[in-house]
Each structure stands twice: as structure tokens, then as C-alpha cells.
Structure 1
């Protein structure tokens, strides 16, 4: 059995964003989502002209690391002329998906000034041994 076959994994789908803060100056914004876990970043495609209600429907699979029980979510507006514009960020806790095997969650986003910047809708599935994950978490 290979080492990767013994790892615990979280498969998550970034479905859509709702009521994003509008940073588009002259046209609809082109948002994308970055999910960061254990210093690894996963990025959705840019939803061209997605505006404040973009749809992504993209799946990612990440190996879980004992003791790291949250993912950071960042939403940006892609700009072809200037630097990309930050829309908002949030955190997703993994406790529920590890314990129950499934989590259908909405991650609230905040701006740098702690104002509401919208939501990201995600679905997560856990594959592996939840007891091993929880024991490692309690030990650390």
C-alpha cells in the first residue's frame, strides 16, 4: 500500500459566490477564488463577467495534515490592466466534515476593514479515517 493511499483527503467543490462586494469600476467584475490549506493554494478559473453572483462549480482534492483544521478562502477580481483587486476573505473549519464525512457550508467573507464582502458556497467530502484525524488533532 502506497503512502498516499493511507492519507486522509478532503474533496471540496467551490460552487458559487453570493452578494460579493462590487469592485468593478467600469464593467462587471471577473472574480476568482483561492483556497489555501497548509501553505498550498488552489485557484478556480476566473468567472468572466461573473459580477456579484459568479458560478464556479470546480472541485479540488487535498491531502489533510494532522492538526490543521481550517482552510482560508480569498476572493479576488481579475484585472487585465492593473493589479487584481481584493474582494474579501474568510475561513472554513474542517471539524464537521472530518467528523460527519460531509459539510455543505457557506463561508462568509470580510474585507480588510472587517465589512461583509459576500459569501462562498462550498460542499466538502471527507475520505479516510476520522478517528485518526481527530486523535492526531487532540494529541497536537
Structure 2
């Protein structure tokens, strides 16, 4: 998996620090955090609102139990493509996320974030990054 540089995605969300290619994409994303995105789709089962049809379609799987993504290594099935991709890394050994402080590597960003918080590396990594700029 290729790492995306901040040059390719220079716009960072002030809420979750996710990066975007365009200012417009960032603005749309931040509207979700603020609750100001128009909710055009509503789940008939639980009434949860969605601004994008694609998100609504994926959400429906939580009610139907549909799991369209299957691991070709072990047969385990997943309802989300992202979860399936992370699972595949367990079999392939791919660890695309590394701690800039100690070099420990992880299958997913969530595990890296947990490590950085537990070891106190989160603030250190940010300070080092600022020093390099």
C-alpha cells in the first residue's frame, strides 16, 4: 500500500485530522462533524439520517446482515470493505502504519493511534514534525 503525502492531501480536518485533496472536500467532511450536512436519506428501520446515498446503502447492511466481502485466506466475511482490507493485512503481514518515534509498525491506523497514546508518542511525533518544517 502506498503512503499518501501531505502534499497530495494538504487540507486537514480540524476535528479528526483526516487529510483531503481539495478545500471543498474538507469543507463537506467538516460539515459532518458539525451536523450541518443536509440529511437526504433516512433509514426505514432505525430512522438514522444520511447525507450520501452510498453511506445509507452501506448502513442498510447492519440491519440485513449482508457481508459481501470475503477473505480468500480464511473465509471470514465482512460488511465493510475497509474492515475486510485491514483483515487481509493480518494474513499478508502488511503493516503500512509506523510510529515516527519508535518505528513500531501496525496493520491499521487505529492500532497506531492507540500505541501513540499509550506510549506518549503522539505529542512527540507532532513536535518532531514541526521541527522538521
Richer in strand (by share)? 1
TM-score, length of structure 2 as denominator length: 0.21
Question: Per residue, is there more helix in 1 or in 2?
Answer: 2
Max Rg structure: 2
Please, what TM-score do these two structures have when normalized by structure 1? Answer: 0.21
